[in-house]
A and B are shown apart, each in its own frame.
Chain A
Amino acid sequence: GAGVSQTPSNKVTEKGKYVELRCDPISGHTALYWYRQSLGQGPEFLIYFQGTGAADDSGLPNDRFFAVRPEGSVSTLKIQRTERGDSAVYLCASSLQGTRGGELFFGEGSRLTVL
């Protein structure tokens, strides 16, 4: 596709359940970021991948959150034992390798609601 694709666009789940959010970046973009955005706030950094490896996962709030990018393309953000406070829009963004500080291309986001 031409842009960053995120699925699902909306996810409603119950407290304590497991959730997976998927991101398909722009072809050829080796840098991939996950952000979380709460209502009225700016995007909050979660994790950054360069290729297959997590170059920086310092933004993950706790060990319930985990993300993978096994083949250096599609990434999955996994949230275990969801809590109501996890409700937010989860944004994925990709960027070209070698473009130092190059622009981020965001997907439409996955809106997670934990009841």
Chain B
Amino acid sequence: GQQVMQIPQYQHVQEGEDFTTYCNSSTTLSNIQWYKQRPGGHPVFLIQLVKSGEVKKQKRLTFQFGEAKKNSSLHITATQTTDVGTYFCAGITYNFNKFYFGSGTKLNVKP
């Protein structure tokens, strides 16, 4: 069945260091979305990627969608303590019925 794998599971960085999380799907996706969940909170939408090879930036965050639309990455430049949380990718099937969430990467930033 459809699976979305995400690595790494945990990442501890010093404030100012960069951070990257990777997402891989077993099948081709229509779209992929990224969400951030703060400790004790609920997932909050960050961005959606639709096109093959698409790259989008939000300030220090860079999102990429692979050419085959089966993988994606989120890169944060110069992390800040406000970046702490778990980052999830969610792959979307072509019938838009399901959003398959990865297991998440938990980011901890030491000041």
Are the CB atoms of B43 and A101 closer together than 8 Å?
Answer: no
Tell me the dominant secondary structure on chain A's binding face: loop
Q: Is the CB of A101 within 8 A of B50?
A: yes
Closest to B2 in A: A45
Residue in A42, A100, A103, A105 whose beta carbon sits within 8 Å of that of B101 in the complex: A42
Q: Which of A42, A58, A107 contacts B88 (CB 8 A)?
A: A42
Q: A45: which B residues are within 8 A, CB to CB?
A: 98-101
Q: How far is the CB of A52 from chain B (nearest CB, A)?
A: 16
- Known contacts A42-B101, A45-B100, A48-B97: A101-B48 contact under CB 8 Å: yes
Cβ of A59: which chain B residues have Cβ within 8 Å of it?
A: 98
The verdict on A101 contacting B45 (CB below 8 Å), with A41-B103, A42-B104 known, is no
Interface hits, A51-105 → B, CB 8 Å: 55-56, 58-59, 91, 100-105
B31 sits at the interface (CB 8 A): yes
Give the interface size class of chain B: 20 to 34
Please name 19 pairs of A and B residues whose Cβ atoms are closer than 8 Å in the assembled complex, sorted by A.
Answer: A41-B104, A42-B88, A42-B101, A44-B101, A45-B99, A45-B100, A48-B98, A55-B97, A59-B98, A100-B96, A101-B30, A101-B31, A101-B48, A101-B96, A103-B45, A104-B90, A105-B45, A108-B41, A108-B42
Interface residues of A (CB under 8 A from B): 33, 35, 40-45, 48, 55-56, 58-59, 91, 100-109
B interface list, Cβ under 8 A from A: 4, 6, 30-31, 33, 35, 41-45, 48, 50, 88, 90, 92, 96-104, 106
Supply 9 further A-B pairs (C-beta < 8 A) apart from A40-B106, A45-B99, A106-B42.
A33-B99, A40-B104, A42-B6, A42-B101, A101-B33, A102-B48, A104-B33, A104-B35, A109-B42
